[in-house]
Structure 1
Amino acid sequence: MQRAWGLHREAQFRDMGSNIFIVHFGSEGDYKHALNNGPWQFDFSVLILKEYKRKTRPSEMIFDTVDIWVRVIDLPPNKRTEVFGKALGNWLGEVVKVDVDVDGFA
């Protein structure tokens, strides 16, 4: 994962069991990059990253969502709006962001 994430400093991985790992990043910049620039995959499986709260048991952590980027090709010009993008995104799941210009068009 270090190569895939393009880390500047070495990260340490600790196996917590049940396919859960704690990653200690060598820098805050590397941590933010890995956390905010996914989705990531490992061995053809999705890799879900979450901020870890030290008092939480690994068995209590829920990994049931992943942010993905969706590109819809060949939309009519009148459908390339933030409003339509949010409507379409909400049909798929929960919208995080719709990429549009300052006028609200993609």
Structure 2
Amino acid sequence: MARDKEEDDEIGEEKEDPKCPTILFTAAEKSKWRREWRSALVVKGLGRRVSYMTLARRLNAIWARHGEVQISDMRNGCFLVRFRSQKDYEWATMGGPWLLGDTYLTVHRWFKGFNPWKTVVTSTMVWAQLPELPIEFINKEAVMKIAEWLGRPVRVDRATELGARGKYARVFVEVDLTQSLLSQFKIEGVTYLVQYEGLDDLCT
């Protein structure tokens, strides 16, 4: 029985070079296969390779707090980490920075089309501290606006949001490692410093 045109447009084969066919998948198929990776993280040692066994021991010790973590050894020094517990996933994503000895681990959320051969680590997520800010600027709105100059703001910590800490504000931000990290800024003519947690050994 002949298929209708709409079905052919979605999953049919195009007439092209038989030596290099285009494989088509439906949106439902791709969504189904990607679902299990939505709570996965891409981990890679910054500047050096780390061994699977060493990484597995370290991550199971610090990330598997509520459930098992599954670590897949990929190419090009990358690892994929899947979580059974959403709390563990959030902790691994937001609780860093993470170190393996003296090696900084870059941590990214998995994204569709991830290819360890073609993916180049150019950014990572990190906590930034903004010390000595006047108390009126230690609030979510002001800190997120400042953080736009540091990279891509993700969120402020709870104490900053509530204004419960007067010594510094703290914000989680994705920074571009191919660019010099912003180390200072001005508000009303006064210069303030930026401190990146766990990135002391990286050039700023």
Residue 58 (1) aligns with residue 119 (2): no
Partner of 2:72: 14
Partner of 1:79: 137
Local SS of the residue matching 1:41: strand
For residue 67 of structure 1, what is the amino acid of its counterpart?
Answer: M
Q: Give the Cα–Cα distance (whole angstroms) in 2 for the partners of residues 79 and 32 of structure 1.
A: 27
Distance apart, 1:68 and its partner CA: 1.8
Distance apart, 1:32 and its partner CA: 4.2
Q: Give the Cα–Cα distance (whole angstroms) in 2 for the partners of residues 18 and 10 of structure 1.
A: 25
Identify, as 1 or 2, the structure richer in strand: 2
| Match for residue 46 of structure 1 among 90, 105, 117 | 105
Question: CA separation of 1:96/1:24 partners in 2, compared to 1, >3 Å: closer, same or farther?
Answer: closer
Residue 70 (1) aligns with residue 128 (2): yes
Distance apart, 1:74 and its partner CA: 2.3
Residue 97 (1) aligns with residue 150 (2): no
Partner of 2:200: none
Distance apart, 1:46 and its partner CA: 2.6
**Aligned runs of 1:15-34 on 2, under 5 Å?**
15-25=73-83, 27-29=84-86, 30-34=88-92
Distance apart, 1:52 and its partner CA: 4.9
Runs of 4+, deviation exceeding 6 Å? none
Distance apart, 1:49 and its partner CA: 3.0
Q: CA RMSD in A?
A: 2.9
Answer whether contact 1:39 1:66 (CA < 8 A) is retained: no
For residue 117 of structure 2, what is the amino acid of its counterpart?
Answer: S
Q: Give the Cα–Cα distance (whole angstroms) in 2 for the partners of residues 66 and 101 of structure 1.
A: 26
For each residue in 1:47-77, what CA deviation from the matched residue of structure 2 results, as whole angstroms up to 9, or x when unmatched? 3132254x54322334322222222222223
Aligned residues: 101
With normalisation by structure 2, the TM-score equals 0.40
Local SS of the residue matching 1:14: strand
What percent identity do the matched residue pairs reach?
26
Gaps of 5+ in 2: 1-58, 164-168, 170-204
Distance apart, 1:83 and its partner CA: 4.1
Local SS of the residue matching 1:31: helix
Larger radius of gyration: 2
Q: Give the Cα–Cα distance (whole angstroms) in 1 for the partners of residues 161 and 67 of structure 2.
A: 34
